[in-house]
């Protein structure tokens, strides 16, 4: 029986030959894959929950240090997750400088910082009826101040991005004055924007429904874009894949925002029905490929888009799930890089519908797993990260060290 390493080598050599014959620059493609990094959110390292229950995985990280340790482990195995995205106030560092130093030693940088005005955690005014859109100015001001504080914490850690998602909205007809709620939100965002350091960007996330079920103040990309434009050049929209109604053409949204140069960030996950937050690429891999296809030029030219996983898992070991997510992202990216963009443009120009579809299908049906693995190995990662993770009994060791009932902060 050949070893997995021998099988990999054979598969990779074969794929390289086939692709080279097709005119693909395989080495360049591998370099793009090696450079591509995705941030891990600090809230994705513990077991997720539905509103019906939470089932602990055991050995979950109990504090920021342990969360950074888990991300460093994922990065060591995969070499494509070298940063953390902190959620404030779930993860407020007590000693910012010590945490910054700790992360640095572990090779982990701070990606975007995320504010939270969608739940109460002991602050003076309740967010039950909203935050930046609230009818009372005192609540709005409290939410603005919170965001400014998040920027300050992020700046001390070396982060350069603030991500905002608002739960603001209404669940009953007549509850909200739509225009007033949006105007309040715009003014609040503009106030936060004035606090943004010059080398920072602000990302505005949208969502069509949930937790509010009649209206959300920022329900779609158009509203997010409108608000970003009202703030300034360093405000952008953020696309969370799960924040769309079923069958929405997300790749078209991505293309539109990218054309306007207002696409600032991504939250990767997948869904069947709504914001299901399951593993990205696990249900709709073709859609993920089409999204990357819209951005392949930006990715290869080192565009400043923030890539982050935003998923939640109540069945899988979260670390294994994050590694699966990373692999699925890399696979979709690699396939998108196989698309002959010149030929696709020519087919589009001539309205050759069949040929255009063939070009995409040909790239999508190519098995790129050996290219992804080769990039990972060359970067110092593992041929099969999950196999290695299981082989080292990492979860069992974590449980022994942190306890069966250790619970990560988050939802």
- Site residues for Mn ion per CB under 5 A: 240, 267, 310
Residue closer to Mn ion (CB basis): 12 or 90: 90
Rounded least distance, CB 306 to Mn ion, Å: 12
Tokens of residue 348, six digits: 């589009």
Comparing CA positions, the residue from 324, 242, 321 lying closest to residue 287 is 242
Rounded least distance, CB 154 to Mn ion, Å: 17
Residue closer to Mn ion (CB basis): 147 or 384: 147
Mutual angle of helices 26-35 and 4-21, in 10-degree steps: 120
Residue closer to Mn ion (CB basis): 240 or 320: 240
Contact of 71 with 40, CB cutoff 8 Å? yes
Residue closer to Mn ion (CB basis): 115 or 384: 115
Rounded least distance, CB 202 to Mn ion, Å: 15
Distance CA 187, CA 93 (A): 29
Residue closer to Mn ion (CB basis): 204 or 290: 204
Pairing status of strand 83-87 against strand 109-114: parallel
Rounded least distance, CB 85 to Mn ion, Å: 10
Beta bridge partners of 202: 162, 235
Rounded least distance, CB 114 to Mn ion, Å: 8
Residue closer to Mn ion (CB basis): 266 or 389: 266
Residue in this structure with the two tokens 């990039």, named with its chain if needed: 375
Residue closer to Mn ion (CB basis): 227 or 347: 227
What is the C-alpha end-to-end distance of the chain, expressed in Å?
46
Rounded least distance, CB 2 to Mn ion, Å: 42
How many other CB atoms are found less than 10 A from the CB of residue 345? 12
Buried-exposed string 227-238: b where 16+ CB fall within 10 A, e elsewhere: bbeebeebbbbb
Rounded least distance, CB 314 to Mn ion, Å: 17
Query: In residues, how long is the chain?
Result: 411
How many other CB atoms are found less than 10 A from the CB of residue 179? 8
Distance CA 305, CA 296 (A): 12
Tokens of residue 168, six digits: 């603001």
């Amino acid at each position: 029986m050949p070893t997995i390493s021998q099988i990999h080598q054979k598969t990779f050599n074969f794929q390289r030959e086939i692709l080279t014959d097709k005119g693909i620059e395989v080495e360049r493609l591998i370099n793009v894959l090696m450079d591509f990094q995705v941030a891990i959110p600090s809230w994705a390292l513990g077991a997720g929950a539905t509103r019906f229950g939470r089932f602990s995985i055991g050995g979950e990280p109990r504090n920021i240090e342990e969360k950074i340790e888990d991300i460093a482990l994922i990065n060591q195995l995969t070499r494509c997750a070298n940063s953390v995205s902190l959620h404030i106030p779930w993860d407020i560092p007590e000693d910012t400088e010590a945490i910054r130093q700790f992360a640095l030693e572990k090779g982990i940088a701070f990606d975007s910082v995320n504010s939270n005005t969608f739940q109460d955690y002991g602050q003076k005014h309740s967010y039950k009826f909203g935050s930046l859109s609230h009818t009372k100015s005192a609540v709005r001001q409290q939410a603005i101040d919170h965001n400014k504080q998040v920027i300050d914490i992020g700046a001390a850690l070396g982060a350069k991005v603030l991500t905002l998602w608002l739960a603001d909205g209404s669940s009953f007809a007549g509850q909200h004055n739509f225009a007033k709620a949006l105007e309040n939100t715009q003014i609040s965002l503009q106030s936060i924007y004035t606090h943004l350091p010059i080398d920072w960007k602000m990302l505005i996330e949208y969502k069509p429904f949930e937790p509010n079920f009649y209206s959300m103040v920022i329900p779609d990309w158009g509203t997010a874009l409108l608000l970003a434009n009202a703030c300034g050049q360093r405000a952008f929209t953020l696309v969370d894949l799960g924040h769309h109604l079923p069958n929405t053409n997300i790749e078209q949204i991505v293309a539109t925002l990218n054309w306007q140069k207002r696409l600032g960030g991504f939250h990767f996950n997948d869904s069947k029905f709504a914001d299901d937050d399951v593993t990205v690429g696990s249900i709709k891999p073709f859609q993920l490929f089409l999204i990357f296809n819209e951005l392949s030029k930006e990715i290869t030219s080192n565009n400043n888009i923030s890539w982050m996983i935003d998923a939640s898992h109540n069945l899988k070991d979260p670390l294994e799930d994050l590694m699966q997510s990373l692999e699925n992202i890399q696979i979709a990216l690699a396939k998108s890089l196989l698309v002959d963009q010149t030929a696709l443009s020519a087919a589009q120009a001539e309205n050759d519908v069949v040929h255009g579809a063939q070009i995409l299908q040909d790239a999508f049906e190519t098995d790129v797993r050996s290219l992804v693995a080769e990039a990972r190995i060359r970067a110092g990662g593992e041929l099969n990260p999950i196999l290695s993770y299981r082989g080292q009994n990492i979860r069992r060791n974590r449980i022994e060290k942190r306890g069966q009932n250790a619970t990560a902060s988050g939802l």
